[in-house]
C-alpha cells in the first residue's frame, strides 16, 4: 500500500509520535509511507531521522496555497489512502481528495475530548472519510454518539507499545549516574507539559507532609515547563523535583521510577507514556479520564484518584510507595495487560486492516 499521512500540527506530543512510529512500522512491513506536514513542524524534523519520506506542505492554514501544495504532494506520491490526524489537514485533504471520492480518506481521532455535533464535525468525520479510527474505545464511542457515525465505519486502534524496548529493568542500574540515589522513592511523569496533564496537581500532592521525602521526576517539554519550575519553587519543593526537558528516549527515565503518575484533567485517548510505563512494570496512579479507563483497572493494574484532587493523589501515591507487595502486584498486572492488547504489533496489524478495508471500499 501507498499511505500518505497528513498532519497540520506543528507541535510535539503523543499524536505526532504515534504517526511517526506507525509510519516507520508499516515501512518495515514493506509498505510505502510518507508524511505531509508544515516545514516548521516538529514532525518534519523527526521523520527523516526515522527514515520516513517527508513532504513539506503549509497545511496549518485553510487556504488555496495549502490546498494547491497538498494536491501537488498527492499527485507526486500517488497514495492509495490518505490518513488525516488534525482538523485543518482533514479539511484541506477533503478538497484535495475530492471529498474522499478520488482517494479514500481515513480520519484518526487521537484526543478523547468530545467532538461537538455540528456541520463542520459531520463533514470531516462522516461525509469525507471512508473510515474513522479512534485511539481507544472511549474515543470511538464518543464519535459514534456525538457525530452519529455508523459504528461499522469506526474502529478503535489504541497506540501500541514496543514491549521489548519498554520492559522491567533494574532500577538501581538505571539510576547510576543520574539525579537519584538507589534508595530514593521516585514518582514520575512523562508528558508534553500542558494544562490537561495535571502536573500542578502532582506538585501540590508532593508538597503535602505525607510525601515530604518523595522525589519527583518530570520528563517532557511544553509551554508549562517554566511555570511548573516556578510553581515547584513557590511550593518549596524545587530541590526534590528534577525536570529533564524533552527526551527522545524515555526508557531509562521510566526505569528510574518507583511509581508512574498521570493526574490528567481532560479526557485522554490511550496515553502512550502510560502504556510505556505499564510495559516497564510500573504501578500507575491516574484519573479515570477517557480511554485511560481501558488501560487501568482500579486496584488491578493501577489506582484511580479524582481529577484535580491533590490530597487524594498524595494518599494513593503514599499507599503504593509504602506497600511493596501492592506495587509489585500492580506493576506485574500492568505489564501483562499491555502484552495482552496494547502492543506495537497489534497496532500495526489493526491499522493495516483499516487501510486495506478503506481501499477496498473505495
CB-CB contact of 333 with 300 (8 Å): yes
The confidence band for 248, taking pLDDT boundaries of 50, 70 and 90, is confident
CATH architecture of 171-341: 3-Layer(aba) Sandwich (3.40)
Q: Is the pLDDT of residue 1 over 80?
A: yes
Cell of 342: 496494547
Residue 115 has what pLDDT? 93
Q: What is the rounded average pLDDT of the residues 286-290? A: 93
Count Cβ atoms below 10 Å from residue 244 Cβ, excluding itself. Answer: 16
pLDDT tens digits along 45-70: 999 999 999 999 999 888 899 999 99
Q: What is the rounded average pLDDT of the residues 132-146? A: 95
CA atoms of 217 and 150, how far apart (whole Å): 43
Cell of 303: 489506582
Cell of 278: 505499564
What pairs with residue 259 in β-bridges?
A: 187
CB-CB contact of 175 with 143 (8 Å): no
Cell of 124: 470531516
Q: Is the pLDDT of residue 291 over 90?
A: no
Class of domain 2-160+343-360: alpha beta
Domain boundaries for CATH 3.40.50.2000 within the chain: 2-160+343-360, 171-341
CA atoms of 316 and 320, how far apart (whole Å): 6
Q: Is the pLDDT of residue 230 over 80?
A: yes
Residue 113 has what pLDDT? 85
Looking up cell 493523589 gives 313
Give how far Cα 212 sits from Cα of 12, 204, 237, 286, Å.
Answer: 33, 11, 9, 20
CB-CB contact of 189 with 282 (8 Å): no
pLDDT tens digits along 181-197: 999 999 999 999 998 99
Indicate the DSSP class of residue 215: E
CB-CB contact of 259 with 317 (8 Å): yes
Residue-averaged pLDDT of the chain: 95
Among candidate residues 230, 226, 179, 186, the one with its CA nearest the CA of residue 206: 186
pLDDT tens digits along 196-224: 999 999 999 999 999 999 999 999 998 99
Helix (H, G, I), strand (E, B) or coil at 259: strand
Q: Whole-prediction pTM value?
A: 0.91
Residue 100 has what pLDDT? 86
Q: Is the pLDDT of residue 286 over 80?
A: yes
Amino acid at each position: 500500500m501507498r499511505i500518505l499521512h497528513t498532519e497540520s500540527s506543528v507541535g510535539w506530543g503523543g499524536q505526532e509520535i504515534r504517526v511517526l512510529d506507525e509510519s516507520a512500522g508499516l515501512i518495515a512491513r514493506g509498505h510505502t509511507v510518507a508524511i505531509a506536514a508544515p516545514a516548521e513542524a516538529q514532525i518534519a524534523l523527526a521523520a527523516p531521522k526515522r527514515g520516513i519520506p517527508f513532504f513539506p506542505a503549509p497545511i496549518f492554514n485553510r487556504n488555496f496555497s495549502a490546498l494547491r501544495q497538498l494536491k501537488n504532494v498527492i499527485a507526486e506520491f500517488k497514495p492509495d489512502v490518505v490518513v488525516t490526524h488534525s482538523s485543518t489537514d482533514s479539511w484541506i485533504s477533503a478538497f484535495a481528495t475530492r471529498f474522499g471520492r478520488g482517494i479514500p480518506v481515513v480520519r484518526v481521532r487521537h484526543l478523547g475530548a468530545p467532538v461537538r455535533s455540528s456541520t463542520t464535525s459531520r463533514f470531516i468525520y462522516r461525509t469525507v472519510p471512508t473510515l474513522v479510527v479512534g485511539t481507544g474505545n472511549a474515543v470511538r464511542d464518543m464519535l459514534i454518539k456525538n457525530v452519529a457515525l455508523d459504528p461499522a465505519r469506526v474502529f478503535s486502534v489504541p497506540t501500541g507499545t514496543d514491549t521489548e524496548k519498554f520492559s522491567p529493568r533494574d532500577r538501581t542500574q538505571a539510576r547510576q549516574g543520574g539525579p537519584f540515589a538507589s534508595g530514593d522513592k521516585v514518582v514520575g511523569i512523562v508528558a508534553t507539559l500542558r494544562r490537561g496533564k495535571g502536573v500542578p496537581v502532582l506538585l501540590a500532592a508532593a508538597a503535602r507532609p505525607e510525601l515530604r521525602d518523595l522525589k519527583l521526576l518530570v520528563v517532557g517539554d511544553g509551554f508549562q515547563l517554566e511555570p511548573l519550575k516556578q510553581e515547584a519553587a513557590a511550593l518549596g519543593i524545587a530541590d526534590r523535583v528534577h525536570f529533564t526537558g524533552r527526551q527522545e528516549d524515555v526508557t531509562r527515565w521510566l526505569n528510574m521510577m518507583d511509581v508512574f503518575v498521570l493526574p490528567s484533567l481532560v479526557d485522554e485517548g490511550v496515553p502512550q507514556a502510560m502504556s510505556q510505563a505499564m510495559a516497564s512494570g510500573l504501578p500507575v496512579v491516574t484519573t479515570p479520564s477517557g480511554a485511560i479507563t481501558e488501560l487501568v483497572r482500579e486496584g488491578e493494574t493501577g489506582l484511580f484518584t479524582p481529577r484535580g484532587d491533590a490530597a487524594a493523589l498524595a494518599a494513593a501515591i503514599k499507599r503504593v510507595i509504602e506497600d511493596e507487595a501492592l506495587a509489585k502486584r500492580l506493576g506485574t498486572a500492568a505489564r501483562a495487560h499491555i502484552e495482552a492488547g496494547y502492543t506495537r504489533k497489534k497496532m500495526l496489524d489493526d491499522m493495516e486492516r483499516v487501510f486495506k478495508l478503506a481501499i477496498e471500499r473505495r
